[in-house]
Amino acid sequence: MFEDMPKVELHLHLDGALPPQTVLQLAECNDLLDQLPGDTVEAIAKQLLCPAFLLQW
């Protein structure tokens, strides 16, 4: 019965769930590029995948 029911994600951290390209696009659309650690996909990916960043959580 439950196996056939639709499921929903109840808890999701956006940092790590969004691809760096999406983070960059959302920042551009909302004029928030100055809030990011860089203005390239590589710079954002490096920050989001940095062990120090992951350890703070």
Residue indicated by tokens 């004029």 = 31
Chain Cα centroid distance, residue 33: 14
Mind listing the pLDDT tens digit of every residue in the chain (57 residues)?
888 998 888 887 776 788 899 999 999 999 999 999 888 999 988 887 776 665 665
Question: The pTM is what?
Answer: 0.63
Cα–Cα separations (whole angstroms), residue 29 to 17, 24, 39, 56:
19, 9, 13, 28
pLDDT value of residue 4: 92
CB 47 within 8 A of CB 24: no
